[in-house]
Amino acid sequence: MKRVIRAAVFAALFLSGAPLPAMAQDVTLTSRDSEVEINGTLLGFDGEFYRVETEYGELTLDGSGVNCAGPGCPNLQNYVAELQISGAATMGAVVMPALLEAFAQKNGYTTERETEGEATTFTYLLRSTDDKSVAARFYFRASNTDEGFADLLADEADIVMSLREIRPDERIRAREAGLGDMTGRNRSRVLSLDAIVPVVSPSNPVRGISPERLARVLAGEITNWARLGGPDVPIDLHLPDEGSGLGQAIFDQILRPAQLEAVAESATRHALPSSLAAAVEDDTFALGLTSYADRGNTVDLTLTGTCGFSLKASRRTIKTEDYPLTAPMFLYFPARRLPRIAREFLAFTRGPAAQIVIRRAGFVDQSPEEISVEEQGNRFANAILAAGTETTLEEVQRMTATLAPMARLSTSFRFEAGSIRLDAQSRSNVQQLARALEVGTYDARRLLFVGFSDGNGPAEANREIALRRADAVRRAVTEAAVAVEAGRVELGVDAFGEAMPMACDDSAWGRQANRRVEVWVR
């Protein structure tokens, strides 16, 4: 007599599977001994596991232990893995296809791109070089971040390409839909790095702007270039689409810290970054906000402060997060099992070959770099300028003596505003550094986690806070590097508080840039 096993038992024993892009169909899964039979609608098959919607809920079963009957059963002999990727056009247009093609070449596949109507919707076929059979289909829908999360919640996407972190309401709905905690360790990752940059035409005489004034331009409170040190003419403001991830990141990182609520209605919106860059380049009196990778032939403005410190976007300052308006590119995926080839592709995106592809595509990679003290003269000059009654010359000398024989890693750690929680890029950096430790990159060397703070409050208290943060990062990296044996690498902590400011403390942006944990290596 056939038995029925309840959903809770299967949920405890098996992982979830990936959805099929085609319409789901009825199937019957029967155990090899014919004792257990499951009837339901096939939601997904990843080449190894079935995912079925039944009267008991969603079940996932190991394909090696069951026989499948019904119109929805996949072809096991000629199985083709299928993956749906949806979200930000900036990622879907260049970097993700480039990574997929590099992955295919490395693993012995050929690629074939099929465009379906609109150029933003396309499919990549991965074929075996031996018999030319199709091994996988990667479906792309390159629209915007909002659409990507909407597709995920509708079970129409396996991976979301996002230019911002998931919103709280999206996170709640994803959890309610059984997709897991999308902010969890295995639910998201930073693919590559970018930044928000203010840009002008090469013919515009203005070359710098403070974050506060930039926010007021964005809100429509400053409308004339004369307020920014330029000619007495109106500012033509150009921005990405409001629904794009970059447009939402601009609101989160520029307007919100200035406690401003809306963008000027007179701003010209652009669906494509290329059109924004072209419009600003051709208009002497235009000011645009775009990504570092998409600035084209425009000139990006340096972020200035009243104390005389300035920060300019560059590959290095974005990678270290010294530039305050960073915009990481995220991949989000639900708590269900993806096909093996998809898992292999995602693993490839973390490796050194992928970082080269990312760099060639115009984005900032995450490969750690060692920066000598000689290349950081301006930072040590800032430390001398900032020395005073609280940050003594002796403390600056101690910092110099400690760090001069070492090199700074480009891997830095910063915290969410008003929180002890690492920000999204830094959480990804924990995993990156942990993997480097596991593969022996820093064997027989010493890594020093160094905490810095802003200048608000007593200097000694700030140093203690910075020291605790440095130790928290060290512990997070140690816990993530599970395969590192004791003694292979020395990990230490120190802190110098407000002794080496990156930006002025008179703004939220400056204080955020100054609160950080750096990694130094010898």
- Tens-place pLDDT, residues 12-63: 333 333 344 344 578 898 988 888 888 888 877 777 788 888 887 888 888 8
Cα–Cα nearest to 249, from 196, 292, 188: 196
Interval 155-188: pLDDT, tens: 899 999 998 888 889 999 999 988 888 887 778 8
CA angle 438, 439, 441 (to 5 degrees): 105
What's the whole-number mean pLDDT along residues 190-207? Answer: 95
Q: Say what the pTM is.
A: 0.79
Residues 88 and 201 in one domain: no
Who contacts 464 (Cβ-Cβ below 8 Å, separation ≥6)? 495
More confident residue, 243 or 270: 270
Say how far apart CA 173 and CA 152 lie, in whole Å: 10
pLDDT at 485 (0 to 100): 79
Q: Which domain holds residue 226?
A: 196-319
CATH code, domain carrying 60: 2.30.30.520
Of 21, 39, 69, the residue that ends a domain is 69
pLDDT at 419 (0 to 100): 67
Residues 292 and 407 in one domain: no
Of 21, 42, 69, the residue that ends a domain is 69
**Least confident segment among 41-45, 295-299, 369-373, 442-446:** 41-45
Cα–Cα nearest to 113, from 102, 89, 96, 97: 97
* Confidence label for 127 from pLDDT (cuts 50, 70 and 90): very high
Residues 126 and 183 in one domain: yes
CB atoms within 10 A of CB 249: 25
Residues 405 and 499 in one domain: yes
Residues 88 and 29 in one domain: no
Residues 314 and 374 in one domain: no
The verdict on residue 2 lying in a domain is no
411: tokens are 């891997």
Of 40, 69, 98, the residue that ends a domain is 69
Residues 372 and 503 in one domain: yes
Residues 495 and 379 in one domain: yes
Enumerate the β-bridge partners of residue 103: none
Contact 59, 38 (CB under 8 A): yes
Residues 184 and 203 in one domain: no
Contact 411, 432 (CB under 8 A): yes
CATH code, domain carrying 459: 3.30.1330.60
Beta 286-291 vs 196-200: how paired, if at all? antiparallel
Amino acid sitting at position 250: I
The verdict on residue 263 lying in a domain is yes
How high is the mean pLDDT of the chain? Answer: 86
Residues 513 and 375 in one domain: yes
Who contacts 325 (Cβ-Cβ below 8 Å, separation ≥6)? 195, 196, 197, 211, 253, 254, 303, 313, 509
- Which percentage of the chain shows pLDDT scores above 90? 47
What's the whole-number mean pLDDT along residues 138-146? Answer: 92
CATH code, domain carrying 134: 3.40.190.10
The verdict on residue 186 lying in a domain is yes
Phi, psi of 44 (to 5 degrees): -175, 155
Cα–Cα nearest to 251, from 239, 234, 265, 236: 239
pLDDT at 8 (0 to 100): 32
What's the whole-number mean pLDDT along residues 215-225? Answer: 96
Evaluate if residue 263 carries a pLDDT over 60: yes
pLDDT at 377 (0 to 100): 65
pLDDT at 417 (0 to 100): 65
Interval 359-400: pLDDT, tens: 998 899 988 899 988 887 677 777 777 777 777 788 888 998
Residues 395 and 485 in one domain: yes
The verdict on residue 76 lying in a domain is no
Q: How many angstroms separate the Cα of 62 from the Cα of each of 50, 155, 341?
A: 6, 21, 17
Helix 145-153 with 168-176: angle, nearest 10 deg: 20
Say how far apart CA 187 and CA 149 lie, in whole Å: 13
Say how far apart CA 296 and CA 284 lie, in whole Å: 15
Report the number of distinct structural domains present in the chain: 4
The verdict on residue 74 lying in a domain is no
Contact 45, 83 (CB under 8 A): no
197: tokens are 């940059």
More confident residue, 182 or 85: 85
pLDDT at 24 (0 to 100): 52
Q: How many angstroms separate the Cα of 231 from the Cα of each of 223, 224, 234?
A: 12, 8, 9
Say how far apart CA 350 and CA 358 lie, in whole Å: 11
139: tokens are 């479906």
Report the sign of the C-alpha dihedral through residues 454, 460, 461, 464, in that order: positive
pLDDT at 152 (0 to 100): 93
Evaluate if residue 336 carries a pLDDT over 60: yes
The verdict on residue 30 lying in a domain is yes
What's the whole-number mean pLDDT along residues 443-455? Answer: 93
CB atoms within 10 A of CB 357: 21
* Confidence label for 11 from pLDDT (cuts 50, 70 and 90): very low
Helices (H) and strands (E) in the chain, counts: 16, 25
Say how far apart CA 428 and CA 416 lie, in whole Å: 14
Residues 205 and 312 in one domain: yes
Amino acid sitting at position 269: R
The verdict on residue 325 lying in a domain is no
Instruction: Give CB contacts under 8 A, 24+ apart, made by 32-40.
Output: 32/65, 32/66, 32/67, 34/2, 35/2, 35/3, 36/2, 36/3, 36/4, 36/5, 37/2, 37/4, 38/4, 38/5, 38/66
pLDDT at 4 (0 to 100): 47
The verdict on residue 261 lying in a domain is yes
pLDDT at 350 (0 to 100): 87
pLDDT at 7 (0 to 100): 34
